[in-house]
A and B are shown apart, each in its own frame.
Chain A
Amino acid sequence: MTPALSIRHLRKVYKSGTVAVDDLSLEIAPGDFFGFLGPNGAGKSTTIHCVTGIATITSGTVEIFGIDAVKNYREARRHIGLSPQEFNIDTFANCIQILDWMGGYFGMSKADRKARADMLIQKFDLVPHAKKQFRELSGGLKRRVVLARALIHDPDLLILDEPTAGVDVELRRDLWRYLQELNAEGKTILLTSHYLEEVERLCRNIAVVAKGRIVQNGPKAEYLTEPGGLETAYLRATGATPEHIAAGAGR
Chain B
Amino acid sequence: MTVNWVGLWTIIRREMSRLMRVPIQAFVAPWISALLFIFIFGYVVGGRISTIGGHRYLEFVLPGVVMLNVVNAAFLQSTSQVYFSRFLRYVEETLVSPLSYAEMIAGVLVPVIIRSVVTAVGILIIAALFGASSVQGIGEFIFWVVGVSAVFGLLGNIIGLWAKNFEQLTILNVFFITPLSFVGGVFNTIQMLPPWLRWMAWANPFFYFINGLRHSMIGFTEAPEALGIGVTLILAVLMFGLVLRLYSTGFGLRE
Interface residues of A (CB under 8 A from B): 14, 46, 49, 52-56, 73-75, 77-78, 80, 82, 84, 86-93, 97, 100-102, 104-109, 149
Contact = CB atoms under 8 A, between A and B. Distances in A.
A7 B193 CA distance: 65
Contact of A91 (B13, B88, B100, B249): B88
- DSSP class of B's interface residues: helix, strand, loop or mixed? helix
B93 A55 contact: no
Contacts, number: 89
Given A54-B95, A82-B96, A90-B88, A104 B255 contact: no
Interface of B: 1, 4-7, 9-11, 13-14, 17-18, 21, 85, 88-100, 249-250, 254-255
**Residue with the highest number of chain A CB atoms closer than 10 Å, among B9, B10, B93, B96:** B96
Nearest to B5: A107
A88 B254 contact: no
With most chain A CB atoms within 10 A of its CB, the pick from B85, B92, B98, B249 is: B98
Contact of A90 (B10, B90, B98): B90
Nearest to A53: B95
A80 B100 CA distance: 16
20 contacts: A49-B255, A53-B254, A54-B96, A73-B98, A74-B99, A77-B98, A80-B96, A87-B89, A88-B89, A89-B90, A90-B14, A90-B88, A91-B88, A92-B18, A100-B10, A101-B14, A101-B93, A104-B7, A105-B7, A109-B6
A56 B4 CA distance: 22
A68 B147 CA distance: 37
Given A88-B89, A107-B4, A55 B254 contact: yes
